[in-house]
Every structure is written in structure tokens, then in C-alpha cells.
Amino acid sequence: MLKRTLIGILRSFEQTGDRAKDPLLKSHYYKLSKEKAWAEVVSTLKKMQGFKLLHEVESVGEIVLEKRTVTGRMMDITVSVIGINPITSAVDIYSASRGSLGDLGSNYRVILDIYRTLDKKLAANKVDSP
């Protein structure tokens, strides 16, 4: 966590993906069609405290959220639901803090929090890769 805080002094965003060096930032896969994954992810995110859902665009699989940090800074979070094949979907997250200073690792922690919540809700459908 200290390393993340140090990286966060300089950087004010974090994102997940297949090529992420940090294993905790790898894309998460679920054995669900894109439509089912979309419905589950949207309903789960709507229930998460401290997050405000700004808009959702199902056709491109994007959900945009906003979160205020304890220091009062705003974070913009985009959650992408990607259909890999008819029965598997991936979820990726991009989180950025508004302002010029680093985030002290808060974007990293928010991503892990969202993934933890989704993994708990979709535990029966979680898979390691497509």
C-alpha cells in the first residue's frame, strides 16, 4: 500500500486491464452474457454508498460514477462492461481524481473496493480468464 501511496503522489488516475502489472488491477471476468453482466453491475453500483451514478450507456457498456473523497476532491470513475463471448464478460475500471495533485492511492483503493463488491455479488459467476 505504501508503494501505491508513493505512486499516487505523482499520479491522479488508475485503471485496470489485461496487461496491468499489478495483479489486483487485472480485468475481472464473469461467466455472464454482456446483458446479464450489465444488469448486475449497474444494480450493484447503484447500491454502493458514497458513489453517485451520473449516467449509463448500455450500447457501449459504460457506467460513469462520481465519488467525493474524504478530503473533498471529486473522483470520476468509468466502469466498462465488455462482452468477450456470448457467455463471458469482462469488467474494467478507470478512476481519475479532479485537480492537479496526485491522489495518494485513493483511485487504486476505489477500484479495489468496486471489484471486491462486484466479486462478492457475482461470486458464483467469477472466472479467472475468458
Give the mean pLDDT of 38-67. Answer: 97
Q: Is the pLDDT of residue 129 over 90?
A: no
* 26: CB partners within 8 A, 6+ apart: 16, 17, 18, 20
Domain with 49, as residue range(s), is 2-127
pTM summary value: 0.91
Number of domains comprising the chain: 1
pLDDT grade for 9, boundaries at 50, 70 and 90 = low
Q: How is residue 104 written as a grid cell? A: 495518494
pLDDT surpassing 90 at residue 111: yes
Where residue 94 sits, what CATH number does that domain have? 3.30.310.220
Structure confidence at residue 11 (pLDDT):
73
- Tell me the pLDDT of the chain averaged across its residues: 91
Confidence at residue 8, expressed as pLDDT on a 0 to 100 scale = 53
